[in-house]
Structure 1
Amino acid sequence: MPRGARRGDGARRGGRGARSNAKVESQASDDDAASEVLSHCSSASESTSVAEEVPGGEVVDEQAQQEEVEDKLKECIDNVMDKSAKTRQLALESLRLAFSSKTLFDFLLERKGEEQSLAATVLTLLCLQMGSGPEGEEVFRSLKPLLITILTDSSASPIARQSCATALGMCCYIAAADMEDLVSCLACLEGIFGTSCSTDASLVPSHHSPQLQNLHCSALQSWSLLLTICPSTQIKKILDSHLPTLPLMLSSDNVNLRIVAGETIALLFELARDTEEDFFYEDTDLLCTKLKALATDSNKYRAKTDRRKQRSIFRDVLHFIEVVYLLLPNEECHEETIKFGLECMYVDSWARRRMYNAFKEALGSGVRHHLQNNELLREIFGLGPPLVLDAAAIKASKISRFEKLKENG
């Protein structure tokens, strides 16, 4: 089931007047906090704040207030990538408060593609930081319509749509609290990559643009991530509707789309095996023939690095599907060991591989730090509470460069 928790019934108790007053007070508190934090993100310390009055006693006009807030929001978005941890923290906090106010729909829709893309990336990090509790759920519910609007807008910037596809999948994975959210996100993502695996020739362009192929790739990655939290009843429906068509994507002229399609097919076979003991796919022979061709591809018109990457991954995919088809026991996908601090984690299934790669893409080089300290990631990967180490243990765990060379020598 999706991660996240519903709010308790206690939040709905009390008279209508009490709820109304509490809501007004909460909104005012959030707005004040947002204004205060946003002011820290602006280098113009003397500028007028959102709630201030000009010296003459006249309230700053609404348009000027809105422009000032938008300028500060743009600066905060830029500061998310700042080298200073304090600056990044202030920027994320101000964006969290601003997003919670639910007044930024038009602002984000009107941003340029690069800004929309960065905003979607920030939303992903925001959900990841806030976790699967009520706060994360609230952020996801508030901005889900915006992500879907940009993602499904064919006139929007391709890079913005691609980032929204990634953000929708990650935020739904982290913070969705019910099946309705999960199913709607799956359907939205299916609608994006669907033309790349449609059986209707009239719906498939003879050649998708590279930007559209990248969008389909991101949508398929997000879709496959959400498969890892689908209940068995939903998996059975997906197997029936998508397993016959996904192999069509293996013929794409985009190497990344071919690879993601192959990994997704392997994931579906893994989920099918876990869901149905007597799982049988009648076109397995034809599928294995396609996979074998990709695993041994030596076409010179493909880049050498692309051929090497493709052959390596499709060898793993082919081997796994043959194992499932032949019902061989104790065979899993290629195992990868991820080391962080004094711990290590084994990526030993296609589901864990998709999950780890999704967080690695979102966090970059910070993924190991989050595996050590982020309770959400540790819960997802079954790592338990973060380890508490004293200084002596940390020092003992570090090996000098000279000692490493001596050991390897």
Structure 2
Amino acid sequence: MPNNRRRKGKSDREARTNGSVQTSDDDSFNDNASVTSNISEVRSTDDGNDEMDEVNQQEAFEEKLSEAIDGFTQKSAQGRCNCFELTSKALVKKYMPGYIVDRRVTICDAVEKSLKRGRGAEQTAAARLATLLCVQLGALDECEEVCKMLKPILLQTVNDKSILPSTRSECCIALSLMAFLAGGEMGDVLHLMQQFESIFAGSYLKGDGTVANVTAEIGLLHSAALSAWTLLCTLMTAGDINSMMGSGVNFSPSISQLSEMLQSPHLEVRMSAGEALATVFEIGSEFSEEFGDDYKPDLIEALHHLATDSHKYRAKKDRKQQRASFRDVLRYIENRTVPDVQIKFGQECLVLDTWARRKHYDALCNVLGSGFNLHLAKNELLRDIFQLGQKILISDISINRQSKLERHLVNAAAFKARTISRGKNRDKRSDF
């Protein structure tokens, strides 16, 4: 006869051995357990895990950055260049002055050696890293120390005509931002401005009034030097600008020389010259409303020609960019109006209502790129430059944050008002 008795399986043996007893769902629920306390325990555990994850991510990030800094001493030039670029990306991505300040001497030594002995891409990457190093340490006293260490070699590289123009351009940017962030003596700033002027003077008109023959690479160098000069110009007082450039004193560059650069065949030089003229007129007009009146008629004519340029021998993109830029410059020279530009980041808004502030924004954004908003929210020196006040804490942001329903209602109301406004001006052709 077949055996109908069920064999004892492995699960039965384990249950008997471990002493576990199968219970129903009702029996397994503990009536005495507090639901609220259970939820709070789960949440506290999740918060702790998130904090641990952040700590682990930060440690992993710093470990990779330390490996990149250690790679500055390797023999391969390409390897050193890669390490410079990795370090620069890390300094753009995170604001970490406490970590960098302990390694500033190591980074400065590597930058100095690469600028002296390196070539091409390595020198360019080293100069860019020097700029980001000062951005990280801008709020600390060590920033001035770094500037004193790197300024001589950067100046030497800028004036060395045997070095690539792209590398010299990066060194111009580094020198100007170092002087701007470190806030050194005004005599040193004027000396730097003279060095930059000796570079972009190559784009002045010749003695016979013809345009200088400058290659595209040298044109980019002249544009970078003029842009660096304009940034340092914002550190000068209105009285100094008026006495040196508005009273006929033999000071270079003069307003007429800057106006000559508007005839350059290179778009970057023309736009940098227009930006420099607007900044100079803005600062000088703070001292006297009659600043530069003798130059205005010819300057307005040249700016109007550039703002309405439609020559087909220029690229369509260049014409569009040029017209947009010089319309703003012309509007300021004629009417003293500056376009109100607002930059929103997080819960804050940065207003660029002067040419000086626009220049500060462009110079820093050119270096930080996608990490500018992060540094603007956390970097104390940048917040001080743009007068943003104290840093906003995360708790303050969570309190002021709108709910999803509130945002939906606001957007719906705005959509309805826009639809009604457009509907009033629609199908008017039937009336005619």
**TM-score when normalising by structure 2:** 0.71
Q: Secondary structure at the match of 1:128?
A: helix
Q: Secondary structure at the match of 1:302?
A: coil
* Aligned AA (1:389): I
Shift of the 201–148 alpha-carbon distance from structure 1 to 2, 3 Å rule, reads farther
Q: Secondary structure at the match of 2:394?
A: coil
Residue in structure 2 matched with residue 167 of structure 1 by the alignment = 174
Distance 1:314 1:250 in 2: 10
Distance 1:170 1:176 in 2: 10
Q: Does 1:41 align with 2:48?
A: no
Q: Does 1:299 align with 2:311?
A: yes
Shift of the 233–394 alpha-carbon distance from structure 1 to 2, 3 Å rule, reads same
Q: Does 1:219 align with 2:221?
A: no
Distance 1:187 1:159 in 2: 20
Contact 2:172–2:225 under 8 Å retained in 1? yes
Shift of the 137–201 alpha-carbon distance from structure 1 to 2, 3 Å rule, reads farther
Shift of the 42–171 alpha-carbon distance from structure 1 to 2, 3 Å rule, reads closer
Contact 1:199–1:245 under 8 Å retained in 2? no
Residue in structure 1 matched with residue 112 of structure 2 by the alignment = 105
Distance 2:324 2:65 in 1: 51
Contact 1:38–1:73 under 8 Å retained in 2? no
Contact 1:342–1:397 under 8 Å retained in 2? no
Alignment equivalent of 2:190, drawn from 177, 183, 191: 183
Residue in structure 2 matched with residue 318 of structure 1 by the alignment = 330
Which stretch of structure 1 is more off in the superposition, 254-263 or 231-240?
Answer: 231-240
Q: CA deviation at 1:332?
A: 2.8
Q: CA deviation at 1:172?
A: 0.8
Contact 2:173–2:228 under 8 Å retained in 1? yes
Residue in structure 1 matched with residue 351 of structure 2 by the alignment = 346
Distance 1:133 1:179 in 2: 20
Identical residues among aligned pairs (%): 32
Q: Does 1:362 align with 2:370?
A: no
Contact 1:247–1:287 under 8 Å retained in 2? yes
* Aligned AA (2:144): E
Residue in structure 1 matched with residue 275 of structure 2 by the alignment = 263
* Aligned AA (2:223): C
Alignment equivalent of 1:248, drawn from 237, 251, 260: 260
Residue in structure 2 matched with residue 210 of structure 1 by the alignment = 216
Shift of the 150–201 alpha-carbon distance from structure 1 to 2, 3 Å rule, reads farther
Alignment equivalent of 1:279, drawn from 274, 291, 294: 291
Contact 1:82–1:88 under 8 Å retained in 2? no
Distance 1:192 1:117 in 2: 18
Q: Secondary structure at the match of 2:309?
A: coil
Distance 2:193 2:333 in 1: 24
Shift of the 343–89 alpha-carbon distance from structure 1 to 2, 3 Å rule, reads closer
Q: Secondary structure at the match of 2:344?
A: strand
Distance 2:87 2:111 in 1: 18
Distance 2:359 2:121 in 1: 26
Q: Secondary structure at the match of 2:256?
A: coil
Distance 1:224 1:83 in 2: 29
Radius of gyration: which is bigger? 2
Alignment equivalent of 2:383, drawn from 378, 383, 396: 378
Residue in structure 2 matched with residue 22 of structure 1 by the alignment = none
Q: Does 1:120 align with 2:138?
A: no
Distance 2:320 2:360 in 1: 23
Distance 1:150 1:338 in 2: 35
Q: CA deviation at 1:271?
A: 1.0
Distance 1:363 1:136 in 2: 17
Distance 2:117 2:302 in 1: 44
Distance 1:297 1:86 in 2: 42
**TM-score when normalising by structure 1:** 0.75
Which blocks of at least 5 consecutive residues in structure 1 are unaligned?
Answer: 1-35, 48-64, 324-330
**Residue deviations 1:104-132, cap 9 Å, x none?**
63442221211111111111111011015
**Residue deviations 1:146-203, cap 9 Å, x none?**
111111111101111010011111111011421222111111111111121256459x
Distance 1:372 1:398 in 2: 23
* Aligned AA (1:381): F
Distance 2:94 2:262 in 1: 45
Distance 2:328 2:400 in 1: 39
Distance 2:206 2:183 in 1: 31
Q: Does 1:78 align with 2:85?
A: yes
